[in-house]
Amino acid sequence: MYDTHILTDVGCRSLWEHGKKVGYCVNIKINYYRGLPLCCIDQITLEVDGEKIAPECMIVQHNGREYPYTELLQDDFPTDIYWIFGEMLRVVVKKDGGIQQGRHHVKLTLGTRRSYTPTMVSVCEKTLTFA
C-alpha cells in the first residue's frame, strides 16, 4: 500500500567528518498509516547498486539521536520512541569514501509490527540522486 512512498531521495548524500567522506544516508518513511514505536521495526535492509549493506554498518537517526540499527532489534530497546506518520527516518550507512555523487539504484525492505496483525513487509526500489 505504502511501498512506493517509503523511499525518498530527499537528503540523499555523502556524510563528511574532518574533511573525509565516512558514509552516506537515505531518508525513509513509515509503511503504515499511523506512527509506531521504533521498537516495532523488524527489518530494514538496503541494497545500493546491487550491494547489500551489512546491518552492523547502518545507524538510524531519529529526532537528533542515533541508534545502531542492530540495537533497534533487541528485546530491551525502549518502547517510547515514536516514528510518526509522515516523518522521515534517516538511515546512515558507514562506508569509507561515502557514495559517488549522482544517481544510484536503491532497494529498501522495511518490516514493521503492528497490533493484532502480522509484520508488514514493504519493498521499494528507486533510482535516487545523491548529492
Q: pLDDT tens digit string along 101-111?
A: 999 999 999 99
Residues in Cβ contact with 123 at an 8 Å cutoff, skipping those fewer than 6 apart? 3, 107, 108, 109, 110
**Average pLDDT of the residues of the chain:** 93
Is the pLDDT reported for residue 65 higher than 90?
yes
The answer to whether 83 and 38 are in contact (CB under 8 A) is yes
- Strand intervals (E) in the chain: 7-17, 20-28, 36-37, 41-48, 51-52, 58-62, 65-68, 82-83, 89-94, 102-114, 117-130
Is the pLDDT reported for residue 3 higher than 80?
no
pLDDT interval class at 9 (50, 70, 90): confident
pLDDT interval class at 4 (50, 70, 90): confident
Kindly report, residue by residue over 17-60, the tens digit of the pLDDT.
999 999 999 999 999 888 999 999 999 999 999 999 999 999 99
Tell me what pLDDT residue 116 has. 77
Which has more pLDDT, 82 or 117?
Answer: 82
Tell me what pLDDT residue 115 has. 76
